[in-house]
Structure 1
Amino acid sequence: MQLQRRRAAGTVAIAALAGSWMVAIPPGQAAEDATVDGAQHETVVVDGDSAGRTFDGLGAVSAGASSRLLYDYPEPERSQILDYLFEPGYGAELEILKVEIGGDTNSTSGAEPSHMRTPDEIDCGRGYEWWLMREAQERNPDIKLGGLQWGAPGWFDGGFWSQDNIDYLLNWLDCAEQHDIDIDFMGGWNEAGYDQEWFVEWDAALDEHYPDVQLTAADDTPYWGWRVADDMVENADFGDAVDIANMHSPCGWRSTYAECSSTQTARSLDKPLWIGEQSSMAHDAGAAPLARGANRMYIDAAITGMMVWSPISAWYSNITMADTGLMVAEWPWSGFYDVGDSIWSYAHTNQFADPGWRYLDTGSERLESGATQVSLVSPSGDDWSAVIETFDMDEPSSVTLQLENLPGKQLQVWSSDLRTDDDADRFRRAGVLTPEGGSVTLDVEPGHIYSVTTSDGQGKGDAQPGASVDERLSVPFQETFEDVDHGRTARYFSDLAGAFEAAPCDGDRDGTCYRQMLAEEPISWTHVGEVPLSTMVGDPRWWGDYAVHADVMLEEPGYVEVGGRVSGQSWGSPASGYHVRVGTDGWELFSRDHAGAAEVSLASGDESIEVDSWHEVILRMDGDTIGVFLDDRRLAEVQDTTQRTGNVALSVSAWDNAQFDDVRVVPTAGEPKFVSKDSMSASATSEHGFFQGWTYGAEHVIDDRPETEWSSAFDPPEGLPQAVTVDLGSVQRIQALTYQPRLDGNTNGMIRSYEVHLSADGETFEEVASGMWSADSSTKVAAWPKQRARYVRLIAADDDEGCGDATATAGELGVVQAKGPDLTTTPPAPPRSPLPDDAPEEFDHLVSQAEMSATASSVHSDPYIPCRSVDGDTSTFWHSAPAATGPLPASVTLDLGQDRDVQGLAYLPRQDGNPNGNITSYDVEVSTDGEQFTTVTGGDWADDDTQKYATWEPTSARYVRLTASAGHFDVAAAAELHVAEAP
């Protein structure tokens, strides 16, 4: 929209505009030419007769188990959080709330329960979304409420786009009515496409049963853009059925939201355009992008409503996408919460314009300074507001608002300065402006949000939690389920997949137990597949010296799992940690990595449990000793150092019913004495700023929040080494450093080759520990003889193999005091085979990948370089050049470091679900000098992602070359290569 400039019509009367400078442009001087002290001045005409589209509000999406832990918060903290979200004149004042219609399947950070698990039963009390909607509606009776599906029950005849689903949704609306909840809009399937005829039928059903409920479509991903608008034009029946067109992330995905988009077709629909979902991002990163998006959605794209996922980050910090919310509330045992700047970003719009106000097209525009402004007027025309955000301004400026056809009332000014760390600079009443001669002038500075209004009722909530972030859930912890209502979720238990709830005990046991209820595979949004149906409980920061006790009972053949030291879970994959699996076919103890979800068997046996009988399972962890007990019988005791910290998981084989009772977590040893993080500060050789919705400052390694992280600058020119240094605040006697890697499922930047240096004065450092860590999410320990120091420096060293990341990351660092239990670095247990148990016997002895290096005849691009095939990480892979530029054959050559008697090659294709590169025809050659190679075997492999093997007679060689002569899509890829050595 073209900036309109006018001469200033008068001077400005200023009343106590604290912390800001104001300038009146002298009459007769052109605004575009006016400068004071080098600052630019612009004039924006705000015309009350230029009313455009109707403002629908800024809201949020509670889905993917995002609000799970909020329900368990104590009072008064829970009500305080709800006030910050929904109470008018207090905080964000959310005007729209969309909730997930549960389907018992993982929908991002967990699974939400269904109200109809079979066609013959309805339970309107399940879940916490009803409660959240009631609380929102009680605080703001005018809030718009809606529902959307991520998954659905598997009993639908005809799948998702069926009459069964329409009936299912009508029953959900009946449940809402029972809860006295007024639903305003309904949708289809989140980010899974749409069926136009189904929407027409869905609209007809709404017209018959709930005529006041509007229909919105299509909750598409940015990939599809506004295709729903094109289909609404081409299909008149579909166009008539849909009342509100929406899409996800039209301002970019977890970006700065600098530009929003819609199409001319969408804008010509004469229907509201909404952002069905935009990410709210991290607590310290989302405020500025959201302020941009709130203005630019209308200026750029004529969008009038926005919803962010999520209103509150209230799920465990070691589950995917943690710290994505307007607020953060992950600590229900203590009541701690973090308001976050995004609350005030939203407040600058929602507290100054109600749904039903109209945007003023003359007065809503991008300014030449880089700022943006939207102006809105009330339906009566008696009040108006303007919101100005300055996050893309380079220098201070001044804006004259030339008022036309608007009341000349006194204007209240509110401002937020996001450049400081002081909460007093957020959403403060900055002063009063009185128009003179039809204009007012407001000077604005970069990094701010300003709201100017004739209305009243604004306010800033001042409640604070009565606890600190470092308060942990205490151990021992016990849940007997006797105080949990049947059909409801137990306190602190959060489902990852499946449906766990309190139910009458079976198997000749009285009382209440915890039952996995799901009996058939649901229609899944994330395509979870046959992973264990799991629920998590406990504090992700638990030090792992504890035992998990659980009584278990299978209702049908299958298995149950009891897990501990769960460092994380990502995107529907099984929970990490140590797990003991006990079932009708025997038992197994295994360790599972977070990022790659790879399972390594530690022990197993034939002892089994029968159906309909109760047994006690104990997983005992004490240092590097892991024990398994069944009914007081010790089944195994092994040594393993893979997992060290985390909470607890209970799992059931899919899609089986089973029960748990008397779940206890008891300590097995004293916890190390850590230096208090309240006295610490942190610095780093480099830091990355904002990226995909998070920030990466060094302070994150000591904030006691596992989901935040430090990262060195992405691909800095100097690469590794990079370092982060912790100042303890005073000289202390210390013995170890704990390193918790990132927990977002990504291995990039995980520190492998490390050094730890200590200093008393911050000038002279001495190395006290070094070594190699595995690239996984488990907490690592570096220990040294006890000594005094104030500064602890962790260095991510270059591994000199050409395969190390150019960056370094860390989630949390802990420094262990010399007092308390000794914490020495236990030598790693002998490496266990990464190959399946049914691997050929030739693979009993493997050449260590740490002694290998890899080269290739063809490479696609970084990060698909050859060394990814020998990095021990199944989520990474080597990939040959694209077929168009480098068709097969292509080879990867392994240098074993020295001559060895080799007799086999194990090949694991890429594990990301994409078949491109699956090697289907191959040859293996060996060499002692790297020049002359001899073929030892060849053949064909199946075009799938299962483990493959090639064997030959033992042959002395230093180099082993795998050549792909044929592969899926005429390319080759390898996640992992292992070489078998003769005994």
Structure 2
Amino acid sequence: MANLGGYFAFVLFLGYKCNVFADGLLYNVDISEGFGRRFDGIGGLSGGGATSKLLLNYAEPYKTQVLDYLFKPNFGASLQILKVEIGGDGQSTDGTESSHMHEPWDEAYNRGYEWWLMVEAKKRNPSIKLYGLPWTFPGWVAMGTQNPFTNATVTAHYLLKWIQGAKKYYNLDIDFLGIWNERHYDKHYIEVLRDVLDQNGFQQIQVVAADNSWFISGDVLKDQTFSKAVNVIGAHYPGTKSSKVAQLTKKPLWSSEDYSTFNDDVGGGCWARILNQNYVNGYITSTISWNLIASYYQDLPYGRDGLMTAQEPWSGHYVVESPIFLTAHTTHFTDIGWFYLKHGAGVGHLDRGGSYVTLADRHSGHLSIIIETMSHNHSVCIRPLLPPYEVKPQTATFVFQSILTNVTQLYVWRSKLRFDGSPNELFIKERSVKVVHGSVTMKLDVDEVYTLTTIDREQPKMYPKPPVSQPFNLPYTDDFEGYPVNSEAFNFVPQVGVWEIRQTGAKGHGKVNRQIMLHEGCYWCNAGSDVFIMIDVYIPSVNATSGIFLGARVTTGGCDYFSNVTASGRLKVTLKHNIWYSIGLYVKDDKASWYFDDEKVSEVKIPPKPRHGFVAYGALSYGLADYDNLRVLESPHHDADLVRRRKMRKVNEMKKFWYLSSGV
């Protein structure tokens, strides 16, 4: 369309007529008095924490397919912002994510998976915006306290290193930077951070504060110096509302974390409603979903609270949930930098329930209207409480107060969430509608989303169905030899501490999974019922943990049974430093048995519940410990595995004796 020089001469109408629908009401759409706020995009959040962990070890082509559904323009969600956790070595909801600097002298940029995810997002959409936010910090950053702002300069330079690493090693330009997820903010630190960014050539990075509530707005209004350091005010789960004080700052207002809702159809309704009403009710110009993708075990907190689900890398199964397609109603027909029209002139509530927003590109002249009619019970989010309201079938007429001169038709896309057992209709391109005398008439039913747009796009062709869901199969083994150094082992989700693949010089133990965290950080916060878990362990004499454990039937709310042995010798076992040992835990029915070098050393009676949960291994305290040759077996294979290992141990002992006797 022609460039209209920042002024639109558009008239538009919207609404079907049908006897069962309420009589149409008029809604003005008018650009003659200017525009509303700038649209800043829709995004997803990876992290907070370890929410994308399982995606990395999906096999092709399924990994590529999932990434395309998230980031590929005009295909799936077509997200415009990717927000990631800046790993800080601490638990941040569903696991821990590694820091780029465990210690001030320990700097590496091949840890974790957020770098990989940002690269993949940029590969698909070079225009996507990148946003980093810390949940936790290594202990050295906080000077051994639980306050990361103890030394503002140290913390600012710690984040600067992350930004520089993104550019140096991955050619990634970070666009937005947060302070500390859902914790107190420090004015002095934010000002120091702004100065450090500016002094190091990152003036373009915008600071989002404070990823919590709108409370910071008061300080922004009162303090001009502080106001200059804050570019965007970001709140979490605002319930589609912003405070009057926040609006007075004239800063962009973001819902920098939202949704967090089980991604069934009610979750889809929640997402569709807040994408519109965040602006209608709160002048909120960006909405970011926690989380991007539910790629963690479902029994961890907030299972399936993502835009889609990919939690079975062993099978390749994933599910493209309804929020993906409801996102597309906005992202396929807008770009960051478009503008909302003003309230009452293209933005508002529908009289019989629902909402509408109009966005326009001042340069190309394109325009898109997104309408949602989500009913209360079919759009409840996890938080906050949603007050009662009612939505009824209706017709709606959107009247433009100018003359629509160069638009003769509008392209129509529709989604319908059905809660009667019949299939949903998601992101379907319907027949275009003629613009007659500046009007278009359509009917609106309950639980629908419509996009009417001047942009003509083809119906995206989806990938074939992925493989069917399969349980995690046993036996499962991992000797950790196939991973790059500093990476994380597949299928394991660290809950406390930091676990990385490290190279050793030990015979038979080339690469190991090492717990490398030495000090407490600054925090933010299923196998079958009968199972046999065994692993080789090594505790060094320097910077060592105080002991190790194995666990089974570990539940979401905490750990059930742990069998542990320490360097001082519990369970009547003397465990020496600098020696490899094999430890095992066998849980069957109401008994737990402990094995040391393939021999049973203890058996205890346990309560009958819980019967299911995860298996786990770990360290009793911060400090170094190496783990290798993990084996997880179903209980019927328990005895056979022990017999095999005992035979191998005897063979190895005989070899050792023969070598010594023969002088080899």
TM-score (norm 2): 0.86
Structure 1, unpaired ranges of 5+: 1-8, 13-20, 24-34, 252-259, 527-539, 588-604, 672-983
* Pair 1:10–1:228, CA change in 2 (3 A): closer
1:330 is aligned to 2:311: yes
Supply the distance in 1 between the matched residues of 2:72 and 2:155 (Cα, whole angstroms). Answer: 34
1:612 is aligned to 2:609: no
Partner SS, residue 455 of structure 2: coil
Alignment of 1:890-905 (within 5 A): none
Task: Report the equivalent of 2:274.
Answer: 293
Partner SS, residue 485 of structure 2: coil
Contact 1:149 1:187 in 2 (8 A): yes
CA-atom RMSD, angstroms?
A: 2.1
Contact 1:427 1:460 in 2 (8 A): no
Contact 2:21 2:395 in 1 (8 A): no
Contact 1:89 1:459 in 2 (8 A): no
Supply the distance in 2 between the matched residues of 1:670 and 1:617 (Cα, whole angstroms). Answer: 17
Q: Cα deviations across residues 813-834 of structure 1 (Å, max 9, x unaligned)?
A: xxxxxxxxxxxxxxxxxxxxxx
Contact 1:384 1:453 in 2 (8 A): yes
Question: How far does residue 508 in structure 1 lie from its aligned partner after superposition?
Answer: 6.2
Contact 1:478 1:663 in 2 (8 A): yes
Task: Report the equivalent of 2:427.
Answer: 427
Supply the distance in 2 between the matched residues of 1:670 and 1:490 (Cα, whole angstroms). Answer: 24
Contact 1:40 1:369 in 2 (8 A): no
1:91 is aligned to 2:88: no
Question: How far does residue 263 in structure 1 lie from its aligned partner after superposition?
Answer: 2.1
Task: Report the equivalent of 1:727.
Answer: none
Contact 2:13 2:399 in 1 (8 A): no
1:164 is aligned to 2:148: no
Q: Which amino acid aligns with 2:367?
A: W
Task: Report the equivalent of 1:563.
Answer: 551
Partner SS, residue 441 of structure 2: strand
Partner SS, residue 494 of structure 1: coil
Contact 2:12 2:29 in 1 (8 A): no
Task: Report the equivalent of 1:399.
Answer: 396
Supply the distance in 2 between the matched residues of 1:272 and 1:38 (Cα, whole angstroms). Answer: 38
The structure whose RCO (Cα within 8 Å, separation 6+) is larger is: 2
Q: Which amino acid aligns with 2:411?
A: Q
Partner SS, residue 356 of structure 2: strand
Task: Report the equivalent of 1:126.
Answer: 111
* Pair 1:402–1:10, CA change in 2 (3 A): closer
Partner SS, residue 666 of structure 1: strand
Q: Which amino acid aligns with 2:589?
A: G
Question: How far does residue 510 in structure 1 lie from its aligned partner after superposition?
Answer: 4.3
Q: Cα deviations across residues 432-468 of structure 1 (Å, max 9, x unaligned)?
A: 1111111111110011011110112364452244322
Question: How far does residue 73 in structure 1 lie from its aligned partner after superposition?
Answer: 1.0
Supply the distance in 2 between the matched residues of 1:409 and 1:147 (Cα, whole angstroms). Answer: 43
1:488 is aligned to 2:487: yes
Contact 2:100 2:111 in 1 (8 A): yes
Choose between structure 1 and 2: higher helix proportion: 2
* Pair 1:183–1:459, CA change in 2 (3 A): farther
Supply the distance in 2 between the matched residues of 1:37 and 1:496 (Cα, whole angstroms). Answer: 55
Partner SS, residue 99 of structure 1: strand
Q: Cα deviations across residues 776-830 of structure 1 (Å, max 9, x unaligned)?
A: xxxxxxxxxxxxxxxxxxxxxxxxxxxxxxxxxxxxxxxxxxxxxxxxxxxxxxx
Q: Cα deviations across residues 380-432 of structure 1 (Å, max 9, x unaligned)?
A: 25210101101145432111121344542410111111125555611111221
Alignment partner of 1:305 out of 263, 274, 286: 286
Task: Report the equivalent of 1:439.
Answer: 439
Q: How many residues align?
A: 595
Q: Which amino acid aligns with 2:547?
A: Y
Alignment partner of 1:204 out of 195, 198, 215: 195
* Pair 1:506–1:577, CA change in 2 (3 A): farther
Partner SS, residue 513 of structure 1: strand
Alignment partner of 1:269 out of 244, 249, 256: 249
Contact 1:90 1:458 in 2 (8 A): no
1:55 is aligned to 2:49: no
Supply the distance in 1 between the matched residues of 2:255 and 2:12 (Cα, whole angstroms). Answer: 40
Supply the distance in 1 between the matched residues of 2:284 and 2:572 (Cα, whole angstroms). Answer: 62
Question: How far does residue 37 in structure 1 lie from its aligned partner after superposition?
Answer: 4.4
Alignment of 1:218-297 (within 5 A): 218-220=210-212, 225-251=213-239, 260-284=240-264, 285-297=266-278
Contact 1:56 1:356 in 2 (8 A): yes
Which is greater in Rg? 1
Question: How far does residue 524 in structure 1 lie from its aligned partner after superposition?
Answer: 0.6
Alignment of 1:499-898 (within 5 A): 499-505=498-504, 510-526=509-525, 540=526, 542-555=527-540, 556=544, 558-566=546-554, 568-570=555-557, 575-587=558-570, 605-640=571-606, 641-669=608-636
Q: Which amino acid aligns with 2:479?
A: T
Supply the distance in 2 between the matched residues of 1:11 and 1:55 (Cα, whole angstroms). Answer: 22
Question: How far does residue 491 in structure 1 lie from its aligned partner after superposition?
Answer: 1.3
Supply the distance in 2 between the matched residues of 1:580 and 1:415 (Cα, whole angstroms). Answer: 55
Supply the distance in 2 between the matched residues of 1:56 and 1:637 (Cα, whole angstroms). Answer: 60
1:148 is aligned to 2:133: yes
Partner SS, residue 439 of structure 1: coil
Alignment partner of 1:217 out of 204, 209, 218: 209
Q: Which amino acid aligns with 2:502?
A: A
Structure 2, unpaired ranges of 5+: 1-10, 376-389, 639-664
1:102 is aligned to 2:87: yes
* Pair 1:492–1:37, CA change in 2 (3 A): closer
Partner SS, residue 153 of structure 1: coil
Supply the distance in 1 between the matched residues of 2:408 and 2:148 (Cα, whole angstroms). Answer: 54
Partner SS, residue 495 of structure 1: coil
Q: Cα deviations across residues 301-337 of structure 1 (Å, max 9, x unaligned)?
A: 1110111100101111221111110001111100111
* Pair 1:10–1:626, CA change in 2 (3 A): closer
Q: Which amino acid aligns with 2:363?
A: S
Supply the distance in 2 between the matched residues of 1:37 and 1:661 (Cα, whole angstroms). Answer: 68
Supply the distance in 2 between the matched residues of 1:170 and 1:294 (Cα, whole angstroms). Answer: 32
Question: How far does residue 490 in structure 1 lie from its aligned partner after superposition?
Answer: 1.0
Supply the distance in 2 between the matched residues of 1:311 and 1:557 (Cα, whole angstroms). Answer: 35
Supply the distance in 2 between the matched residues of 1:157 and 1:78 (Cα, whole angstroms). Answer: 37
Q: Which amino acid aligns with 2:214?
A: W
Supply the distance in 2 between the matched residues of 1:143 and 1:291 (Cα, whole angstroms). Answer: 21
Contact 1:390 1:449 in 2 (8 A): yes
Alignment partner of 1:22 out of 16, 41, 63: 16
Q: Cα deviations across residues 91-137 of structure 1 (Å, max 9, x unaligned)?
A: 11111111000011000000000000111121011010011111111
Supply the distance in 2 between the matched residues of 1:11 and 1:151 (Cα, whole angstroms). Answer: 50
1:320 is aligned to 2:301: yes
* Pair 1:503–1:11, CA change in 2 (3 A): closer
Q: Cα deviations across residues 581-605 of structure 1 (Å, max 9, x unaligned)?
A: 0112333xxxxxxxxxxxxxxxxx3
TM-score (norm 1): 0.59
Partner SS, residue 136 of structure 1: helix
